Amino acid sequence: MSRPPLLPHALLTFLLPLTSLAASSSSSLPKIDFSSLGSASVVGSFGGVSLYDPSSPAPSYDSSTSTLISRASDGSISKVGATDQGGSINVLCQAPSGQLFIGGNFTSIAGVAASHVASYSANTSTFASLGSGVDGPVLALACNGTSVYVGGNFTKPVGATGSYGGNVAVWDVSSSAWSAFPFSGLDGAVESIVETADGKSLFFGGSFSTLFLNSTVTNSTIISNSTTRTTLNASDIGNGTIYASLGSSLTPISLNGSDFWASPTTYTSGFGRPQYVFCPKAEDGPGSSWLLVDGQSGYFISRFYRPLSAKGIRLGNTFWRNRGTQNFSLTSIPDNTVLELSYASDPSDPTSALATCQENCVLAHNESIPYQDFIFPDSVSMTGFQLNIFGHYGAGAGLHLLQLLSDGAYDYAVADNNLSPCTSGLGASTQSEVSTNGNWTTTSVVSDIPGTTQSVLYGSVAGGTSVADAPTITWNPTITQEGVYTIVLVTPGCQQQDDCATRTSVSLTVTPGSASPSAASTTTVNQITESTLSSTIFSGMLYATGSSGGGVTVEMTLASGGAPNAGSTYYLVADYISLVAASTNGTISSNSTITTNSTLNSTSTSTSTGYGIFEFALGGGTGTFGDAIAASETLNATSQLQNATSIDQLAFRLPSGANVTSIVSADSQVFFGGKFVYTSATGNITSANVVSYSGTTKAVVVAPNGGLAGTVTSLVASGGVLYAAGAFVATTDGTVTGLAGSAQWAYNTTGSSWTAMGAGSSLGQSIVQLGVIDMGVNTSIVAVGGSGVGVEFYDPGTASWNTTEGGFFVGNLTAFGEGAAGNETATVYLAGNVVAASSTSAPGGASLSSSSGNPMLTSFGFSLEQQTATTSNASAAKRSLIAGPHPIRNSARSLVKEVMGSVWARAPSQAITTTLPSAISTDDTEGEVLTGAYWKNGSTTFMLLGGNFVSTNGVSNLGLYNTNTKQLSAVTGETIDGTVNTIAVNGDVAWIGGNFSTASGRQGLATYALNNMTSLDDNVPALAGYTAANATVNVMVQRPGYSNTVVFAGAFAAAGSLHCLSICSWDAKTQEWSAFSTGLQGAVGAINFAGSNSQYLLAAGDFLINSTTYYFAQWNYNNQTWSTLGAPTDIPGPATAVSADGTNVDKIFLAGTSSTNNSPYLIYWNGSTWADINNGTLEAGSGVQQLVFVPLSSDHSSNSMIETDRMLMVSGDLTLNSTSVSTALFDGTTWYPYLIASSSTGAGVISQFFYSVTDFTLSGKHLSVGIVILISIAIALGVVFLLVLIGLLIALARRQEESAYPVQPRQDADDVHVLHRPTSLLTAVGAATAVMLDSKGEKNQPLDHDSIAGPASVYGTSEAEPFEENARATARYSFQAEHVGELSLSAGEDLVILEASDENWYLVANAQGQRGLAPASYVR
């Protein structure tokens, strides 16, 4: 793929402070008063989040198209356009003017018809086709402002005429016209085009070949004992004569050892067995030919169940009674691909021009042509094939010869795999040989093709064994025809065999026959390779086996020092060697004739073939290195060229099938990357997949460590360092491992080797393109690719990767286009199959704040790993039902050991629901932070974060985030296996709730001391789930005004020994659980409080009360009962979120999902009825996770529903009027989209908004202080006179009623006392006066919550004892005031005794400062 020239001045585009990004139109959003909330954040299931911009609504993405995205210098991301469905963008090139050129495989982009190539103008926001485009995919672009050089896999521009040779073309920007290159074209796909900085040369890379006529051979003798001729006589059958064919250098592979069958086979005797044609022993006829049933199509299938090094197929037609095969195709197994086959256009002349066929190949029917060879494309992976026959000559189809051809010659270590298909007759070949010495064992190993195995030899070596005593194996491969060959040793990977620890290095000695000009060579190969390793051990001229001085031997043994440790056992692994011919027919030159012992005279011209690389000198000059001669218009690079440059000559040393995918020009060097092995002329120096040429030394520079052991997809250079990406994990010599798809080489440093790029990119081996953003001071390497992450950045200074630097992208990106040179504010572009994109990457969450009144987002700054599966049943049902803006923040309490009886774990008799609808996906694999709470430790602010995630630094499900350093660390000593739904922090004690199990086996709830990092689980009685279900906590909220009372809700059956269904209260002072009557049988997802003194607990979910299904209920702390608002049927379905407007019991908001049609609802209790305030605004598919009121710094317009100083914040996965948002604000009449979250599936979900201020309340409206003073003065004098009269009347009424006053039921008979009203008139008058003057307790500060007990205990009682004045006490029972001066009590309420002179009635004060009389027996 082409990589446009690496341009500087673009770093600013990506290195702006992305973590503090305000929406471009954030001033139009409602202004939340964040200063009242302290620090505020949002978390949820998302990877990126941004503020809603009304002027540019969030676009939708279709991953079945390829989307072009722009990123401006201010960090804003915009969708520019998308291709047609199934289209792809492969390459981008931005000209100095800012015009963008786009290449790929598409027919339209942004609705504009464009065949594979287009342009985009940012000034006019328009796309345009380049003429009518080209007729095939574009893979490479280079642009300089005047010309656009286009490469790919196409024939020519659509509708163009002229000498287009294929795969390259030039677009002239000024004339808007196509033209051909002077060299016409190239004969294979072009994947990279680079123009040198001086504009003198173009370098092309790809999978093409070039033929140069610039080499001569002087007095070179070529020896051959075989006879070459174009006809076959009957006397030749059986004597081994070799027919000159296209694949005469290729050794047949025996089909006898395969699993083969054919149909429909003729019933004619002597013609019904296909194996007759594997090696015909006689002339065409019975016993030597195979026929199909006359008039019918048929097939032949051969399966080997192991990898094959196959290069072609040899077919000889039958002429039996004029029958024969006419039309056929070939399908590879197992990928079921119909192969494109190459063949000599003149079957009688193997040197004739090549032609191709695929779906309809024709087999010659000429008795002078005994067989034809059809050559496969490069890099075919197969374990078998299917020959499809569908046309015939005469009465029916048939064959006389059928052979599969290898990619040269091969020799397996297991001798049985070397069986020759034919030792005599037509198609005869000599069997390769192998011999061993020492201890070798045949072993079956897993191959790289799924579901297949292969047999290899393992040679065992005891530690300390010398090379002389080590086992050896010697291969003697058969060479059918002289030519240039590359010998490759294939070693199976050790990872699948699980034997990496016992592998070692081996020594290979290659000894060519005496006729070869190449000398013997020795190569050391490290066999510790994770995947299959192909090691080049020789490249040079070899002569046919059996000829004088022909053949070659390869010996493998232990390398020196290969078994260093005595007592250990090492293994040598022998699979096979492969001899890959430079030409399928052994041709050395186009015009020389090979005869027995002939000599090529000094004037003959030889040809040189280059693979994968071509240099073209621009402007008629001599090229960037001064060694080019301008190409003539009459030359054709698809045929023959003259005068190869040094770069062209480098291509001569690459093997056939080489594919160069990336080229970089830097520092007078040109680097080439791809899939190839460079071999020096001497054959003893190789460089795998990376090689370079130095213009300074005028020499090839091989990569260190023998190169990289895998295909290189992209290269970039910066600051004297070459960066490479591709499908590799180690260097070729195995000395550098752990590269994980990316590596760097300081090429300007002598003796440097490849090193890893930090800890490796999360893109792994899926990187398709690298880019450099360099402003001279800072440099970032940009990587785009697959794995769903899309883009990542590498900082060479810190050797670290960052996925959040450039925004959030989900999808598989395929192209990156840098900004133009000299423009530091240039827009950059990315393209690919985008699922979601956001300006701020925030996989863990983001903080909200304001600047100049406008909202701002700040990413937490850490990254999460992709998750392939959940770790337990607990994590399989994720919940994110977090409610209420009341995080717990008070001093810690000492905890005591739990006292438990038997655990209640039985389900009610009626079936109940234990889960609720949720917008959080249960099979999401990207990880999510679902809840958080702030914690202050000295001057440092932390967040405790929970969810279902694993961070890139290994933190799992629960972590402590330092807001100063932006580092997430593990919570030591607390292991969470499952999902955390809710977190509350009380002083230094953290409560963690969710659907999980801890290491100690506790379910749903964990307690942790943050100050000393220790678990407190043993001090709190554990929760127990319903039968066969995990205990789950969905929400935890402190009761406002009661610092020691925390309410837990979810889906559980018991708390300790207490039968406590799905909702329970914990008293932090007494360390005891309390139940709410019989509880709520089912699932509770959200709770909130309302009313004076937090009198009402609001619960939302899906539960049973007295066998009736409810979705909402409220608990009255005064009368200790559950009730509902309206009828149960008024609420459409399971409720997931609830919030009261401040403490107003007549303004309650409830959201959920309809049980009838799964549509979302949002309703409002107005004091008498439930009203629908959604009215279709929240569209189908929306899910609400949280409702919470937030304060405003600027009031909204007045309405009867919501006060002007606040708005209702609705979070989840919302669709408002066809707009996808994650958080919206509602003022009672109007909706305001606020936050947009993005995830790997598209729209993200915000599960919780939380903040650090613990005592924040939305106060109601009050009269001004001046008015209150005036009213007080007006009534003060009258009140004094009324008090005495009221006191007398009260005393009289009490004396009349006290004998009839009902006694509160008691569990302990001894505690029952007769209830008497106060006998002291002064006490009654004092109490009445206190109430009249300060009925709301406004003159009294609330009591110290830390000194007051919590809710009623479930663990016993104590006798009432006399109290001293100002003593702390607790209400034992609820009491309802009936007269002025009395104070209503709730069981478990904290009190202070103000006066205890009367033995029956005490003057008390509650936590809100309210005072009054209460029965003494009700107080303890």
Nearest Cα to Cα of residue 944 among 1011, 854, 869:
1011
Identify any residues that bridge with 49 across adjacent strands, giving them in sequence order: 1237
Instruction: Name which residue leads in pLDDT, 1265 or 1100.
Output: 1100
CB of 197 within 8 A of CB of 6? Answer: no
Confidence of residue 591 (pLDDT cuts 50, 70, 90): very low
Percentage of residues in the chain with pLDDT exceeding 90? 43
1004/1255: higher pLDDT: 1004
- CA geometry: angle at 1210 spanning 1208 and 1211, to 5°? 150
User: Does residue 829 have a pLDDT over 80?
Assistant: yes
More confident residue, 1292 or 1244: 1244
| pLDDT band per the 50, 70, 90 thresholds, residue 1341 | very low
pLDDT at res. 911? 62
Using the CB atoms, write b or e for 464-493: b if 16+ within 10 Å.
ebeeeebbbbbbbbbbbbbbbbbbbbbbbb
Residues of the chain with pLDDT > 70, as a percent, come to: 78
Q: What is the DSSP string of 52-109?
A: --TTSPPPP--TTS-EEEEE-TTS-EEEEEEBSTT-EEEEEEE-TTS-EEEEEE-SEE
* Residue 1070: C-alpha distances to residues 340, 686, 881 (Å): 82, 78, 28
- Return the closest-CA partner of residue 587 out of 479, 481, 477: 481
Q: What is the pLDDT of residues 797-811, one digit of tens each?
A: 888 887 665 566 677
pLDDT of residue 1203: 93
Q: What is the mean pLDDT of the chain?
A: 80
H-helix or E-strand spanning residue 1280: helix 1265-1297
pLDDT exceeds 60 at position 1044: yes
How far the first Cα of the chain sits from its last, in Å, is 83
Give the residue among 1333, 1316, 1321, 1314 at the shortest CA–CA distance from 1290.
1321
- DSSP letter at 604? P
DSSP 8-state secondary structure symbol assigned to residue 805: T
Instruction: For residue range 678-721, list pLDDT tens digits in order.
Output: 988 777 788 999 999 999 999 999 999 999 999 999 999 988 99
pLDDT tens track for 1155-1212: 999 899 999 999 999 999 987 789 888 999 999 999 999 999 999 999 999 999 999 9
The mean pLDDT value for 925-944 works out to 88
Task: Yes or no: say if 1261 and 1230 are a contact pair by the CB < 8 Å rule.
Answer: no
More confident site: 902 or 829:
829
Give pLDDT, residue 234. 31
- List the one residue out of 390, 428, 374, 405 whose CA is nearest residue 300: 390
Report yes or no: 928 and 1248 within 8 Å, Cβ to Cβ: no
Q: Is 166 left (phi over 0), alpha (psi -120 to 50) or beta?
A: left
Residue 501 backbone phi and psi in degrees, to 5: -70, -20
Q: What is the mean pLDDT of residues 1407-1414?
A: 84
